[in-house]
Copies of this chain bind each other. A is one copy, B any other.
Amino acid sequence: MNDVARAVGVSYQTVSRVLNEPHLVKESTREKVEQAIRELGYRPNSVARALKTARTDLIGVIAPITGHFGPTKAVCALERAAREAGKAVVLVQVDPGVPGAPEDAWERLLRHGVDGAVVVSPCLNFVRALRPPVHMMPIAVAGGEGGDWPAYATDQRGAAYELVQHLVSRGAKRVAHVAGPVGWWDARERERGWREALADAGLPEGALARGDWSAESGEESGRELLANAEFDAVFVANDQMALGVIRALVDGGKSVPADVLVAGFDDIPASSVTVPRLTTAGQNFAAVADACIAAVSATRALSPGLELLPAAIILRESSEG
């Protein structure tokens, strides 16, 4: 910065002003300074700026290391939203199973001086486990309940409700469910939507199996249902498991959708071309991300509470019985 100042013959402060408050500096001076900046290839050192202003324009993103569709998409969406807000994203993945890992994640973010953090929290107790140093920075939660912080998520219960309602409208009388693992917000909400839709439709409770989100666990759950239950439709908590269920049904001599209707959740890229094409729901990651970034960029802390954003229902062959 001093080099630029010297080249033009002004003080370093004038250069600083050209960068931060251009309207305060005379036009002729400003142009000369800008010219010198270009010629000398000067780049403001944002580390030094951060030291003085205590703002880094960095936003921390803490995500579970699961590698599942939802969290991954959420991270990508958050990066885009942050970029559009002029911030950069520091990504820290956490294995919720490793003791101390959540604390370590916060530690890293705090040390790098992030201005705020977004927690991608598909696990129910993930936020709590993170035990963040209270109110040291603005925090928002994406895709789950937020405890003491503002949270934004897709209305998965509502989408599940609609999907089950759709299955029923296509003639299903006994709708089974393959749920996600206990302790996941997504799993619980989708399961609730299923229960509520059945109850509201005056249908009896359906059979329940539980997987771990993986395609293999879906296949396993499908076999389990076939062995133990009567059903003419299955609502599966995600697409990968849904494909596993379909596989089990086909192996069991059932045809989808002729004998059993199936609906999944997530709209993974493959689900539009599988045999059969999969009825599912797509989350609005972009809207969730925008809301989270806005929340952590806000000057004053936002009040806690969960705001739900609508999902997109996608009807395809697997439920067109």
Residues of chain A touching chain B, judged by Cβ–Cβ distance below 8 Å, are: 41, 43-48, 50-51, 56-58, 61, 65, 67, 72-73, 75-76, 79-80, 83, 88-93, 107-108, 110-113, 133, 214-216, 218-219, 239-240, 243-244, 246-247, 250, 268-275, 277
Contact = CB atoms under 8 A, between A and B. Distances in A.
B51 A47 contact: yes
B218 A273 contact: yes
Contacts of A72: 72, 76
Contacts of A270: 215, 239-240, 243, 268, 270, 274
Given A57-B112, A83-B92, A243-B274, 14 more contacts: A43-B107, A43-B111, A65-B80, A72-B72, A75-B91, A79-B93, A83-B108, A91-B91, A215-B269, A215-B270, A239-B270, A240-B269, A240-B270, A274-B275
Contacts of A110: 43
A76 B277 CA distance: 29
Given A76-B67, A90-B90, A93-B76, A273 B46 contact: no
Contact of A92 (B57, B88, B275): B88
Q: Which of A57, A269, A272 has the most CB of B within 10 A?
A: A269
A47 B43 contact: no
A100 to B, nearest CB: 13
Contacts of A46: 111-113
B47 A113 contact: yes
Contacts of A47: 47, 50-51, 56, 112-113
- Give the 8 A-B CB pairs with smallest separation, nearest first: A215-B273, A244-B273, A247-B273, A46-B111, A47-B50, A47-B113, A91-B91, A219-B273
Contacts of A218: 273
A273 B83 contact: no
A246 B275 contact: yes
A134 B257 CA distance: 58
A246 B277 CA distance: 12
Contacts of A219: 273
A44 B110 CA distance: 9
A161 B131 CA distance: 50
Contacts of A89: 90-92
A215 to B, nearest CB: 4
Contacts of A83: 92-93, 108
Nearest to A68: B269
A250 B215 CA distance: 22
A180 to B, nearest CB: 14
A63 to B, nearest CB: 9
Contacts of A56: 47, 112
A43 B79 CA distance: 27
17 contacts: A44-B111, A46-B111, A48-B51, A57-B112, A61-B91, A72-B72, A72-B76, A79-B93, A80-B93, A88-B91, A89-B90, A90-B91, A218-B273, A219-B273, A243-B274, A246-B275, A274-B275
